[in-house]
């Protein structure tokens, strides 16, 4: 079982977890223009294509890694794989 689904199962229980996962997919479906635009924005904002490390600043590094972790959680729940990240980071296809 994927970590995101495990998280939902622990948080919401087996009865509600599937509905929460479905809500993510409905709201952020990357196969729709709006869902793809939001996922592309989150990929950029959460620094998916960049290192989270900031030399000499462990607090900023931790913050950046936290943002990246949130994106990875959302991406997993909506079915976006790391192979899809480059296309999300390509701003020319968003519009």
- The pLDDT of residue 94 is 57
Q: Which pTM does this prediction carry?
A: 0.88
Rounded mean pLDDT of 76-84? 95
Q: How far apart are CA 38 and CA 17, in angstroms?
A: 22
Q: How far apart are CA 53 and CA 62, in angstroms?
A: 8
User: pLDDT digit string (tens) for 32-73?
Assistant: 999 999 999 999 999 998 999 999 999 999 999 999 999 999
For the chain, the structural domain boundaries read 3-93
Check: CB of residue 39 under 8 Å from CB of residue 88.
yes
- The pLDDT of residue 92 is 60
**CB count, 10 Å around CB of 56?**
6
Q: Residue 80 gets which letter from DSSP?
A: -
Q: Which residues contact 11 (CB under 8 A, 6 or more apart)?
A: 17
């Amino acid at each position: 079982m994927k970590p995101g689904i495990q998280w939902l199962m622990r948080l919401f229980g087996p009865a509600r977890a599937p509905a929460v996962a479905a809500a993510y997919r409905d709201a952020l479906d990357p196969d729709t223009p709006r869902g793809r635009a939001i996922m592309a924005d989150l990929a950029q904002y959460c620094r998916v294509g960049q290192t989270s490390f900031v030399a000499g600043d462990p607090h900023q590094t931790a913050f950046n890694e936290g943002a990246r972790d949130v994106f990875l959680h959302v991406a997993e729940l909506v079915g976006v794989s790391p192979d899809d990240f480059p296309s999300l980071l390509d701003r020319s296809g968003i519009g």
